[in-house]
Amino acid sequence: MKKSIAEIAALVGGTVAGNGQKLIGDIRPIEEAGADDLTFVSNPKYFKWLKTTLAGAILVPPGTAAPGKNLIAVADPYAAFGKLLAVFYPVDHGPAGISPAAFIEEGASVSPEATVMPRAFISRGARVEKGVVLYPGVFIGRDASVGEDSVLYANVSVYARSVIGRRVILHSGVVIGGDGFGFSAPGSQNKKIPQVGIVQIDDDVELGANTTVDRATLGKTWIGRNVKIDNLVQVAHNVVIGENSAIAAQTGISGSTKIGKSVIIGGQVGIVGHITIGDSVMIGASSGIHKSIPAGMVGGGTPFLPFREWLKVEVSKTKLPEIRAKMEKLIRRVEELEAIISKTREGEP
């Protein structure tokens, strides 16, 4: 595929400075791009590459100058770069249709415009809408539903009555609707509490490989519109995650916690149950969250601290060996002084 710089600018709403008729055939990193390639720069610390890159066209922020280069000025070069990647590298799921090697129980509703690959299993009462792609090994449980244009990659499991919205992407190994971790007398009798609720995943959500979302005890575990979750994340029963939130890998969210809209959570964060994380909160990686956080707060650590306090604590950790050595020295000096005072009191010279 080749497109002129002018065509590319039109796709992303950009303004051309240079030769708009030049053809571009690929997208490459700025240090590797050649004369027929497009690249981008958005962070000022990488502007130095503008002088040396051989790229045929460069996505840049408005007001950027680079004499002799073909520039496409856009408000957000990184977002434009992502949009163009989808244009130059479209995902091909193969032709629509239902493989004869798929297993569909009587009473399931599957659109003829869906793509159902070999070894997918669709249970009685399940509904699969048009444009859905089910890769090999996908399991759709009874009375579950998958909305239009959603893609479920190999070996995704969607348990009974789960609700998957439109344009949802579930990567390999995702499990939706497994039982929540509910037991009475934990640590002794461990009597199972039946988990009879559902999982609801709204439109445009993407879940990374091997992420798990447990069904609610009662009611629903709910992931809001346009939430993006990385690989290996655990979402427990009755958790609610507000729209546009983003959660990095290896985070664990305990039961009945409510996470607001546009929340950003770093990797390896642990969150206890039955608390509330307010809208637009940002939590640093490897934090431990033990109580509710008000909206708009930025920070991290265990326990969670506001950003500046957290930085002070982290800086102090690096000085602990030095502080310990000084403390030991001070303790020895105090012991020496106490010995001198004791001898003086006893009348010794």
* pLDDT tens, per residue, the chain with 349 residues: 799 999 999 999 999 999 999 999 999 999 999 999 999 999 888 899 999 999 999 999 999 999 999 999 999 999 999 999 999 999 999 888 999 999 999 999 999 999 999 999 999 999 999 999 999 999 999 999 999 999 999 999 999 999 999 999 999 999 999 999 999 999 999 999 999 999 999 999 999 999 999 999 999 999 999 999 999 999 999 999 999 999 999 999 999 999 999 999 999 999 999 999 999 999 999 999 999 999 999 999 999 999 999 999 988 989 999 999 999 999 999 999 998 888 888 765 5
Whether residue 349 sits in one domain with residue 304: no
Q: What is the pTM of this model?
A: 0.90
Q: Are residues 180 and 116 in the same domain?
A: yes
Same domain membership, residue 44 and residue 10:
yes
Residue 314 lies in a domain: no
Q: Identify the CA nearest to 44 among candidates 68, 28, 60, 23.
A: 60
Residues whose CB falls within 8 Å of the CB of residue 218, separated by 6 or more in sequence, listed in order: 196, 197, 238
Whether 260 is in a domain gets the answer yes
Assign residue 228 the CATH number of its domain. Answer: 2.160.10.10
Question: Is the domain of 65 the same as that of 146?
Answer: no
pLDDT at 344: 85
Residue 286 lies in a domain: yes
* Residue 281 belongs to domain spanning: 97-308
Query: 177 and 118 in one domain?
Result: yes
Among 54, 88, 122, where does a domain finish? 88
Q: Within a domain: residue 121?
A: yes
Tell whether 221 and 295 lie within a shared domain: yes
171 tagged catalytic: no
Domain boundary among 88, 115, 138: 88
Give the orientation angle of helix 307-318 with respect to helix 320-345, to 10 degrees.
Answer: 70
Which two structure tokens, joined as six digits, stand for 296? 């708009």
Let me know whether 274 and 326 are in one domain: no
User: Within a 10 A sphere around the Cβ of 109, how many other Cβ atoms?
Assistant: 12
Residue 131: what pLDDT?
96
Nearest to 247 by CA among 216, 205, 215, 214: 205
- For residue 86, the model assigns a pLDDT of 94
pLDDT value of residue 1 = 77
The DSSP 8-state label assigned to residue 185 in this structure reads: S
Give how many domains the chain has, as a whole number. Answer: 3
Residues 269 and 197 in one domain: yes
Q: Which of 93, 171, 237, 290 is catalytic?
A: 237
Any domain includes 236: yes
Side chain identity, residue 177? G
The CATH number of residue 13's host domain is 3.40.1390.10
Give me the helices (H) in the chain, please: 5-12, 49-52, 77-88, 307-318, 320-345
